[in-house]
Amino acid sequence: MEHRALVETYLEMLNAHDPDLVDRFLAEDYVNHNVVVADGREANRAFWAMFFAGLPDVTATMEDIIVAGDRVVGRFVYRGTHQGELMGIPATGATVEMRSIDIWRVEDGLLAEHWDELNLMEVFQQVGVLPRLDGGAARS
C-alpha cells in the first residue's frame, strides 16, 4: 500500500470506529513512541477500542499529509463527546477537541514506527481533571 494510503486507512479506522482495521495498515511489531499506547498492533487495537468507548461520537479530519522517503507526517483534529471512560477518567459529557501531529516510518508496506505530539493537558482541561491556565474554572 502507498504511504499516503496507509494514513488514509488510519483515518478511515478512526471515523468508522473500527479498531480491527489496524490489521490493514500497522505492522505486527509496531513501535509506538507514545506514553499512552504500548508497542504492537494488538496494544494499538486495544487503545482504539478504549478511545472509541470514551468518545463514541468522535470524528477525525486530516488537515495535512506529507510523504518523504520512508516517512509520512499527518496533522489531525479529533472532536467528540466524553460519554464513556477515557484513560481512566469517568464520562463527563464534555466536548473534546484534540489535535495531533503524527510521524510514521513505513516498512514493507505497513506503518512500522510512530511518533506523535498531542496536547493531552488540553484534553484533561476540557474534561475537567486539570484547571485551565487562563484562570477559568475546571468543569465539575
How many angstroms from the chain centroid is the CA of residue 118? 9
Encode the chain (140 residues) as per-residue pLDDT tens digits.
Answer: 799 999 999 999 999 999 999 999 999 999 999 988 999 999 999 999 999 999 999 999 999 999 999 999 999 999 999 999 999 999 999 999 999 999 999 999 999 999 999 988 999 999 999 988 877 655 54
Which CATH number covers residue 95?
3.10.450.50
139 occurs within a structural domain: no
Could you tell me if 73 and 62 are in contact, meaning their C-beta atoms sit under 8 angstroms apart?
A: no
30 occurs within a structural domain: yes
User: How many domains is the chain partitioned into structurally?
Assistant: 1
Instruction: Indicate the pTM of the whole model.
Output: 0.90
Q: Compute the distance between CA of residue 93 and CA of residue 102 in angstroms, rounded to an integer.
A: 27
74 occurs within a structural domain: yes
31 occurs within a structural domain: yes
Give the number of C-alpha atoms closer than 13 A to the C-alpha of residue 36, restricted to the C-beta side. 18
21 occurs within a structural domain: yes
Place of cell 518523504: 68
14 occurs within a structural domain: yes
- Which pLDDT belongs to residue 132? 81
132 occurs within a structural domain: no
Which range marks the domain in which residue 80 is found? 3-126
20 occurs within a structural domain: yes
- Which pLDDT belongs to residue 102? 98
- Which pLDDT belongs to residue 136? 65
